[in-house]
C-alpha cells in the first residue's frame, strides 16, 4: 500500500472523515511503523500517544488549536491517549468519507479530561 503523506491537513481530514479514529488506525493510514511513544502537550497537560514524534507534534498542533480531542485511557495511571475525535465548530462544514472508505469506529468517544 502506498504511504499517505502525513501533514496537519491530511491528519485532520482523516479524523473528520470518521469523526473518531484509534491510534492504530492513524499508524496504519500513514504507514507509521516505529513503536515510539511521544508526548502531546495540550490545555489539559501532557498526554502520551503511541506515535512517532513528528506525528505527535502535528497532532499536538491540532489539539492546541481545538480542532481535535484525545480519548484517554482511564485505567492507565499515566495520561495515555487511545484515539482522536473531531471537535466540531459552528462555522465548519463536514464532508463525507470518500467512496470506498468505511467508518470502522464504534460507539461514542469518552470525554478528554
pLDDT in tens, 20-51: 999 999 999 999 998 899 999 887 789 999 99
Neighbours of 111 (CB within 10 A): 9
pLDDT in tens, 64-96: 999 999 999 888 788 889 999 999 877 655 554
Quick one: CA torsion of 8, 106, 77, 58, rounded to 10 degrees?
0
CB 40, CB 25: distance < 8 Å? no
Please report the pLDDT score of residue 25 as a whole number: 96
pTM: 0.71
Amino acid at each position: 500500500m502506498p504511504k499517505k503523506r502525513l501533514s496537519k491537513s491530511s491528519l485532520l481530514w482523516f479524523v473528520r472523515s470518521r469523526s473518531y479514529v484509534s491510534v492504530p488506525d492513524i499508524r496504519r493510514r500513514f504507514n507509521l511503523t516505529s513503536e515510539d511513544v511521544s508526548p502531546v502537550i495540550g490545555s489539559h497537560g501532557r498526554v502520551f500517544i503511541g506515535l512517532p514524534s513528528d506525528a505527535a507534534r502535528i497532532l499536538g498542533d491540532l489539539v492546541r488549536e481545538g480542532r481535535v480531542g484525545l480519548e484517554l485511557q482511564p485505567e492507565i495511571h499515566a495520561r495515555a491517549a487511545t484515539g482522536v475525535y473531531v471537535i466540531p465548530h459552528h462555522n465548519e462544514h463536514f464532508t463525507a468519507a470518500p467512496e470506498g472508505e468505511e467508518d470502522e469506529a464504534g460507539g461514542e468517544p469518552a470525554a478528554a479530561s
